[in-house]
Chain A
């Protein structure tokens, strides 16, 4: 059953030729013109992350999710497949753009050392992991339209909290910059492993929320 859903999502992805065209064009432009490859890797990875979220929107359109769940698809399988599909699209996407960026940096003679490359890959993985962990359950809970507003509020709230956190640290004399420096000094491989672990935990928690949301929903 899960295979059927996977095929559906792959076909939905295939129908997004324009999206892929734009991503490919951006990738070529960034890699040939830009010198900041950290940004390129993060940007393209996030674009791949959006693919999963967009398949949920396509499923939801015209109450299509209700029909899909009337077929031999359980609510739990549907959620499971979305997480697996997100991993199956975002991770290869990240790997491809990472390897490509590294290779192009060597060809163009851009200073992009291995440590920076691995760190960028880890940070991109964290960004896409957080993004999917937030967006999948929000999309499943609120549907395509309302979820846009909710996500804006969540990310706005998150940014504000971060800003307030730095101010609080400043007020109480907490040196958060030195803490970040310490994190930066951890070996790239350990950082990557740590980020992968954080993403796994986040996705796990997110999956439980998504499962709860979809089981409570009516169509």
Chain B
């Protein structure tokens, strides 16, 4: 569905160098702290930036060949922009109807009602969460094959986040679809994504299937002495702590079996990210 190969974008003090792939039938997560390069990656995919190298393919076509017809099959949520604030939801309906041949107007209206999005209020008067929900609805109601969702849960409360994640799961029930979704709240992605890319300072620092990440990765909490005696073969990163070291491993079971005296935590994705990004090799 989507393939980025060594996509580069240079800014002063920041360089994006991203390789990732989104397979059909998969929800792929892109996790990273603010400023890690998530939005730059999305903008590169959407052709909103001129890249300095590498290649991007959507639906098997290079991005330069992606025209209006292909864009009809993509649903987009952007983290830092949206529909003009001077329009109302009612104004958007004829616009979307004319932009997307498969726009599901009744479904869109039903969801707007359900999510309490006023039809005749200017979008600029919407809260951040309402604006985000509107973008998500527009992305979900035109039969898109690929969703590119940059921080779709930002500004949403816990319940709205949960509802949104449910909508995305329902969307994926149909064959031939895929989602690339980013968030800095990794718990959002834990239960949704099939695989996860972790991005830091413009580079992909980790790629793993979510199940593998949760089942085999772990955090060892060791004293300085324990750390020195440890087999470092499966330690990806270590981070100095007051008690000694936190170590990230992708072979939790190995250490559980061979070092029963060591405290080993399964670790949430947030913890894994933290050590992956802040830790040393």
Contacts and interface: CB of A to CB of B under 8 A. Distances in A.
Given A1-B98, A4-B96, A4-B98, A72 B72 contact: yes
Given A4-B98, A218-B49, A12 B76 contact: no
B81 A67 contact: yes
Given A1-B68, A70-B46, A58 B84 contact: yes
Interface stretch (B87-95, B181-189, B200-208): B87-95
B85 interface: yes
Interface in A1-52: 1, 3-5, 7-8, 11-12, 14-15
Interface string B69-84: 1011010101011111
Contacts of A11: 87-88, 91, 94-95
Contacts of B94: 4, 7, 11
A129 to B, nearest CB: 26
Is the contact region of chain A dominated by helix, strand, or loop, or is it mixed? helix
Contacts of B72: 72
Contact of B80 (A59, A63, A68): A63
Contacts of A3: 98
B48 A66 contact: yes
B78 A67 contact: yes
Nearest to B103: A4
A61 B88 CA distance: 15
Interface of B: 43, 46-50, 67-69, 71-72, 74, 76, 78, 80-88, 91, 94-100, 122, 135, 148
Interface of A: 1, 3-5, 7-8, 11-12, 14-15, 58-59, 61-74, 77, 216, 218-219
7 contacts: A7-B98, A15-B91, A62-B85, A65-B81, A67-B78, A67-B82, A71-B76
